[in-house]
């Protein structure tokens, strides 16, 4: 599952009107466009069994991929699961339908700390689906160093032993943190400032993988890396030798939200599905399969003590975590920087 930074040009290039959709009494089809490895088949089957609504589930591996397919396809998808800064960008451009909260009473199960974020302060367009952090995983049987932050990962002695997310915005945010710059302060000047850092880092990386970065670690192809917290949680569950560390420089706290794109053909089914997955017992199934941080506090009460103690799912302490904001046209500069550096 995974998220690449938004390409604003894609958002701006295609205008999707809201259309004249009304909430029909019954819809027997739901077109869901979501991250890979994010919704268990049992949840989809349960919704179909209960409502008679067939779920067409299409997956993507990044926000960029989602936008590239979403924006030219008016009226194709009923639900999408964009990350927080993508929600912000889509709202600005009227690309999301307002939610009918009267049909989503289970929204009450979302914890107050996960409501009212700046990207959608009234939760008018989005419901938090899953959250988490981006941090460091270390195979402690292979790496004996005391790894605390990005500078400890990107060392010449670890060349070809590192996996990182295939996500330009993420990687740039790590370099910004390393330089003491806010992760949302993305300008031509700050990009130029971190360029030398990335020039040193990128040649050390063996694997770029946003879909399943845990695989290279499990297979022993690499010994450490920077991955999604949910992937790290799965590694920890399989073998306690995999240690999860939130970088001392600071880390991204992603908030993946479920939303209805403008022009959705079956908005009634979309509202029904959102309400369904917010049931505690259904949300629990999602956490069991994909152990990210669940914003559904009622579902958390159903999780085991071991699940709640997983340090990658529910980090303890007071880590420095920040959400991404929409950076507008500067996203293109991030792309260009990473493309140029990777080509050399």
Q: Tell me: the pLDDT tens digits for 45-85?
A: 999 999 999 999 999 888 888 998 998 887 899 999 999 99
The pLDDT of residue 211 is 87
The pLDDT of residue 37 is 84
The pLDDT of residue 27 is 61
> Can you point out the beta strands (E) in 85-191?
126-139, 162-164
Specify the pTM.
0.88
CATH 3.40.190.10 range(s) for the chain read 8-130+255-308, 132-252+319-342
Spatial distance between the Cα atoms of 262 and 91, rounded to a whole number of angstroms: 10
The pLDDT of residue 344 is 77
The pLDDT of residue 64 is 84
pLDDT digits (tens, 9 = 90+) for 284-300: 999 999 999 999 999 99
Q: Which fold has domain 132-252+319-342?
A: D-Maltodextrin-Binding Protein; domain 2 (3.40.190)
The pLDDT of residue 17 is 32
What CA–CA distances, in Å, run from 69 to 59, 76, 210? 11, 10, 18
Class of 8-130+255-308 in CATH:
alpha beta
What CA–CA distances, in Å, run from 4 to 35, 101, 187, 325? 11, 29, 18, 13
The pLDDT of residue 8 is 42
Q: Which residues of the chain have pLDDT under 70?
A: 1-27
């Amino acid at each position: 599952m995974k998220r690449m930074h938004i390409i604003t040009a894609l958002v701006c290039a295609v205008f999707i009107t809201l259309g004249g959709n009304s909430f029909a009494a019954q819809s027997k089809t739901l077109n869901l466009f979501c991250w890979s490895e994010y919704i268990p088949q049992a949840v989809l089957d349960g919704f179909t069994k209960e409502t008679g609504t067939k779920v067409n589930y299409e997956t993507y591996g990044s926000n960029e991929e989602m936008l590239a397919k979403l924006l030219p396809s008016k009226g194709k998808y009923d639900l999408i699961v964009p990350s927080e800064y993508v929600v912000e960008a889509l709202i600005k451009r009227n690309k999301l339908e307002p939610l009918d909260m009267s049909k989503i009473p289970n929204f009450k199960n979302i914890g107050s700390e996960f409501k009212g974020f700046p990207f959608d302060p009234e939760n008018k367009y989005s419901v938090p689906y899953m959250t988490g952090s981006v941090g460091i995983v270390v195979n402690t049987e292979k790496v004996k160093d005391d790894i605390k932050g990005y500078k400890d990962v990107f060392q010449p002695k670890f060349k070809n032993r590192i996996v990182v997310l295939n996500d330009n915005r993420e990687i740039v945010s790590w370099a910004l943190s390393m330089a003491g710059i806010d992760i949302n302060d993305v300008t031509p000047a700050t990009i130029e400032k971190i360029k030398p850092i990335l020039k040193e880092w990128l040649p050390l990386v063996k694997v770029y993988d946003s879909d399943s970065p845990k695989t290279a670690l499990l297979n022993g192809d690499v010994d450490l890396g920077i991955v999604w917290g949910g992937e790290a949680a799965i590694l920890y569950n399989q073998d306690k030798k995999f240690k999860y560390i939130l970088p001392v420089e600071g880390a991204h706290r992603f908030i993946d939200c479920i939303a209805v794109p403008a022009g959705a053909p079956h908005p009634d089914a979309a509202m029904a599905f959102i309400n369904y997955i917010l049931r505690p017992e259904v949300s629990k199934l999602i956490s069991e399969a994909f152990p990210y941080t669940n914003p559904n506090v009622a579902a958390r009460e159903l999780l085991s003590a071991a699940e709640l103690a997983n340090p990658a799912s529910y980090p303890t302490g007071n880590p420095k975590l920040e959400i991404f904001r929409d950076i507008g046209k500067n996203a293109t500069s991030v792309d260009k920087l990473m493309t140029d550096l990777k080509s050399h």
